[in-house]
């Protein structure tokens, strides 16, 4: 069947052939997804591994298509999976997992045997460069969920009312922290994550005011003035952290309890911090360092509920290489945006 289709398509533009292949692939995957689930539930004894972990360990790029539930990993191997289905296509060949791929909390979870399959595929293609660094992971259980359904886009109720001031820390000649191995500058990471948060919030109907949208210096006083003048519901400053130990990692969310603008504002700041902390939890493999008080200029001087998010430690030898990836930044942004939306809905 494949051969005949190839012959017929041979004289046509390559684009048509590619489209036909995509349609065929999707058909195979969706047909498999519709077949009745195997007995034994969704989580097998071998456990699951998150797509984030896979991309991290095998240096793969992930192209998620949350609408169709199709996820493509590219790099030393090409793997296409479909949420809800045990069928996948690995380097052009159909393979089957013992249990279906799951889509939970914004991440894709693959049955743990996918690790061995990918390792063997890489070894077969003779560009296996990971032998000195054997893959080790603890098979885990995907977080429980009642929603979203496997192949549907995570529900985000449109039209959340509110205005949010996003404050990407540093900028211009103030670089903030600098990655000790990559030389990446905190100001750039802050702005990149903040812009992603802005997109996610705007898509949900929230009005967003940014204290800066380019690589320019903005003083702390000017940031606070902008926040106080915006008629906004809350202020979220976005930073990346630094520590002396390369082993220190994790995110943390700060509010200032020594802000002079009243107990209601403080109460709301604490709630905003906890909402963001809760949504960041589990977005990537790191430590939750909590939501707590710290006396910081921008959270101390703003009249509206305010928090400062330290996304991750740039000095962490494990985390630093990840911080510039779109995959990581999008997950960080999703956690922050989801927390803000929780806060705005819960007012």
| Interface region with Zn ion, contact rule CB under 5 A, candidates 164-172, 221-229, 260-268, 297-305 | 164-172
- Closer Cβ to Zn ion, 26 or 178, answer by number: 178
β-pairing, 87-90 with 251-255? unpaired
- Closer Cβ to Zn ion, 50 or 237, answer by number: 237
β-pairing, 288-293 with 251-255? parallel
Size of the site for Zn ion (CB under 5 A): 3
- Closer Cβ to Zn ion, 42 or 175, answer by number: 175
Residues 6+ apart with CB under 8 A from 12: none
Q: How far is the CB of 175 from Zn ion (least distance, A)?
A: 9
**Which residue's Cβ has the minimum distance to Zn ion?**
239
169 binds Zn ion (CB under 5 A): yes
Strand partners, 207: 163
- Closer Cβ to Zn ion, 111 or 169, answer by number: 169
- 95 and 85 Cβ atoms separated by less than 8 Å: no
- Closer Cβ to Zn ion, 239 or 268, answer by number: 239
Q: How far is the CB of 186 from Zn ion (least distance, A)?
A: 5
- 251 and 310 Cβ atoms separated by less than 8 Å: yes
185 binds Zn ion (CB under 5 A): no
Among 239, 249, 265, 271, binds Zn ion (CB under 5 A): 239
d(CA 136, CA 9): 44
Q: How far is the CB of 27 from Zn ion (least distance, A)?
A: 49
176 binds Zn ion (CB under 5 A): yes
223 binds Zn ion (CB under 5 A): no
Q: How far is the CB of 328 from Zn ion (least distance, A)?
A: 17
Q: How far is the CB of 68 from Zn ion (least distance, A)?
A: 38
- Closer Cβ to Zn ion, 112 or 177, answer by number: 177
Binding residues for Zn ion (CB under 5 A):
169, 176, 239
């Amino acid at each position: 069947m494949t051969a005949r289709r190839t012959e017929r398509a041979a004289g046509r533009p390559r684009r048509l052939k590619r489209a036909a292949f995509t349609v065929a692939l999707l058909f195979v995957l969706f047909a498999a997804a519709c077949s009745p689930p195997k007995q034994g539930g969704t989580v097998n004894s071998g456990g699951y591994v998150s797509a984030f972990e896979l991309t991290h360990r095998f240096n793969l790029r992930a192209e998620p298509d949350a609408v169709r539930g199709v996820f493509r990993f590219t790099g030393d191997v090409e793997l296409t999976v479909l949420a809800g289905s045990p069928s996948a296509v690995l380097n052009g060949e159909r393979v089957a997992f013992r249990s279906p791929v799951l889509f939970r909390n914004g991440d894709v979870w693959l049955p743990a045997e996918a690790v061995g399959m990918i390792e063997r595929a890489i070894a077969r293609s003779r560009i296996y460069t990971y032998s000195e660094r054997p893959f080790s992971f603890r098979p885990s259980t995907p977080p429980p969920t009642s929603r979203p359904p496997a192949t549907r886009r995570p529900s985000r109720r449109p039209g959340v009312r509110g205005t949010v001031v996003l404050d990407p820390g540093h900028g211009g000649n103030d670089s903030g922290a600098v990655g000790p191995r990559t030389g990446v500058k905190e100001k750039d990471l802050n702005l990149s994550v903040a812009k992603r948060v802005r997109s996610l919030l705007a898509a949900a109907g929230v009005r967003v005011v940014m204290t800066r949208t380019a690589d320019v210096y903005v003083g702390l006083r000017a940031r606070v003035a902008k926040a106080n003048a915006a008629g906004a519901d809350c202020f979220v400053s976005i930073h990346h952290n630094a520590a002396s130990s390369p082993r220190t990692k994790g995110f943390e969310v700060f509010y200032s309890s020594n802000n002079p603008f009243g107990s209601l504002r403080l109460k709301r700041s604490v709630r905003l911090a906890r909402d963001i902390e809760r949504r960041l939890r589990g977005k990537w493999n790191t430590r939750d360092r909590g939501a707590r008080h710290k006396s910081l200029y921008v959270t101390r001087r703003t009249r509206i509920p305010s928090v400062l998010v330290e996304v991750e430690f740039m000095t962490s030898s494990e985390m630093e290489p990840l911080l510039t990836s779109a995959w990581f930044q999008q997950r960080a942004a999703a956690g922050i945006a989801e927390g803000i939306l929780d806060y705005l809905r819960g007012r």
